[in-house]
Chains A and B, each alone.
Chain A
Amino acid sequence: MTRKFAYFLVLLSLLTGSTAGQEKISFSGYLSDMQTVYRIPDYWLWENSLQNRLNLDFYPTSWLSGSLQVRNRAIFGSTIGKIPGYGESIGGDQGWLDMTWATDGNLGDSAGYVLSSAVDRLWLQFTFGNLEVKAGRQRINWGQTLVWNPNDIFNSYSYFEVDYPERPGSDALRVSYYTGNASTIEVATKIDSANRVTAAGYFRFNTLGFDIQFMGGIYQGEDLVLGTGWSGNLGSAAFRGELSYFRDLDQFKDTTGYLMTSIGYDYTFSNSLMIQIEGLYSGFAKEMDVNSFLQFYSGNLDVKNLGFTPWSFMGNISYPLTPLLNGAFATIWYPDWNGVYLGPSFDLSLNSNMDLSLILQYFTAEFEDPSGAKNREKNTFGFLRFKWSF
């Protein structure tokens, strides 16, 4: 089906007239290899992940565009046998259409492999003046803050994932109308692999130096969601925030709902030193049964699981040590767990299209076991990645 669709787009682009002499097809992507080491309770694990991303964008006419983007991975390492369900989780597709293919197997006694290919964007966009209609697998990003996004109900994903900035897409239909140069109204609906429908409306406008948004709808067929968010500045620092309210539709009268809010500041000094702080409150956290950090470490998240504890506080500092070498240090404090996350990282530009990244993640916190005793859990993850963009 995917191949037919690609042929169709190519054909369409050949048949239609030229648009101001610009290329009608654009091809881009990257090839990366990442070596990972995990130190988790009781285990040392390792993994090598070869990743290739292909983006094919089509612009057959001025009013029609489309995109097909594929993420191919070849992973091998001791993680595959040791983490139950790991292979299957890579082969899983959260979307309504299953456009992920994967196969896994063993490499001797101590390691395994997974080969996977996933279509994470496949959309067509029709543009009629200020009106845009976008249909297919796409990313809908309604976030305003920089770390945790309670307003971003379509594509929640783990903050700790270091090798997938694009994030998966949603199988969705979105209609956008730009009411002004810096304002928009959107209506979007998506359906996921469990046939749950999320449908919401969104309005963003700009006034007094602030972007302000309101959103509301049904989240995964279960909850009413209402939210607001903003970006602006206090003094010369950026001030961003989001607030979302969720209430279970089946128990609407018996419950009062849950609040989730994030607020952040960021400031950039003239020497390009960037400092950022953000806090998250989640009303859902106290309902969650968390006994290990690893429960929420990777992959797709329900927006309700953005916060694992009622309060999370994040600080980040980023500085170009040289124009080619950027250093950053992120830290998150989880007061209810007596826990912290520490994340130093370095990105080195080798040439215009090649980058080398070193990322470390350390996590320590106390969890209660079933007997009520508290145990401290420590996890360390190390990533070394080479990336060639084309």
Chain B
Amino acid sequence: MLILLSAMALPVLGQDISPKEIVRKADEKFNGEKTSTAVMAMTIVRPTWERTIEFKNWTSGREYALTLITAPAKDKGQSFLKRQNEMWSWNPTISRLIKLPPSMMSQGWMGSDYTNDDILKESSVVNDYDHSIIGEEELDGRMCYKIKLVAKEDAAVIWGHQIRWIDKKDFLFLKSELYDEDAYLVRTETGSEIKIMDDRLIPTRIELIPTEEEDQMTIIEIKEIEFNAPIEESFFSQQNMKRVR
């Protein structure tokens, strides 16, 4: 999950820094330069109901991720492992490991507006896009760089281009607009509830609103996060899918 959140955090340092460097530092700040360990909640909001899924998430770079669902009761204990571009799920109820196909990546994760693609394939906002500063705007009383990210031709990304608003002082992601290849705005993401977590100032609440359904929303809340704890690559294993708690 953090992999997708990473793409949304874009602080900037210095004045002569290139837009690509801005995005790189932002990405690393939000995701951890090396690893992250987080406790999160995702709430699916519809006009007449809400559902919340709680989970723990371990990541190492963009290559490795392990996600454990901790609530609701019927899904508790299910885990997902990503290693490079392969993904598995573990269901303790039936003691079954299932290898997930690439087609499942475009499916909403646990019924939300976030797709598995956001988790697994969200490519590097640094390396897979060309960046340019297209202006400055104030959002929630904070001055932001407005940066346009255009997908490189050969990059395997699901967005055609993105526009991101980045706090100039604290280099925080505040808003993203994600456009498909036909330059159609698919969804808008905003970051808020900016707090210090593990000695870093980050937005701890991300709201995702699909363009076509304005009364729908998916909210991600970061409840705890630890950056750059030593996690070996071997942690991201099928054995640990069954062991993590």
Contacts and interface: CB of A to CB of B under 8 A. Distances in A.
B234 A231 contact: no
Contacts of B76: 28
B103 A237 contact: yes
B93 A166 contact: yes
B103 A352 contact: no
Which of B83, B93, B239 has the most chain A CB atoms closer than 10 A to its own CB? Answer: B239
B107 interface: yes
A181 B49 contact: no
A143 B115 CA distance: 27
Interface residues of B, number: 37
Given A236-B103, A269-B103, A165 B236 contact: no
B86 interface: yes
Interface in A117-138: 127, 130, 132, 138
Interface string B85-125: 01010000111101111111011100100010000000000
Interface string A342-354: 0000000100110
Interface string B226-241: 0000000110111100
Contacts of A272: 107-108
Contacts, number: 100
Nearest to A324: B49
B52 interface: yes
B72 A206 contact: no
A258 B144 CA distance: 70
B134 interface: no
B104 A268 contact: yes
Nearest to A141: B95
A60 B72 CA distance: 24
Contact of A182 (B71, B83, B115): B83
A145 to B, nearest CB: 10
Interface string B25-59: 00000000000000000001010010110000000
A270 B109 CA distance: 11
A232 B86 CA distance: 10
B72 A353 contact: yes
A41 to B, nearest CB: 33
Interface of A: 22, 28, 30, 59, 127, 130, 132, 138-141, 143, 146, 165-167, 178, 180-182, 184, 206, 209, 211, 231-233, 236-238, 240, 266-270, 272, 320, 323-324, 349, 352-353, 355, 387, 389-390
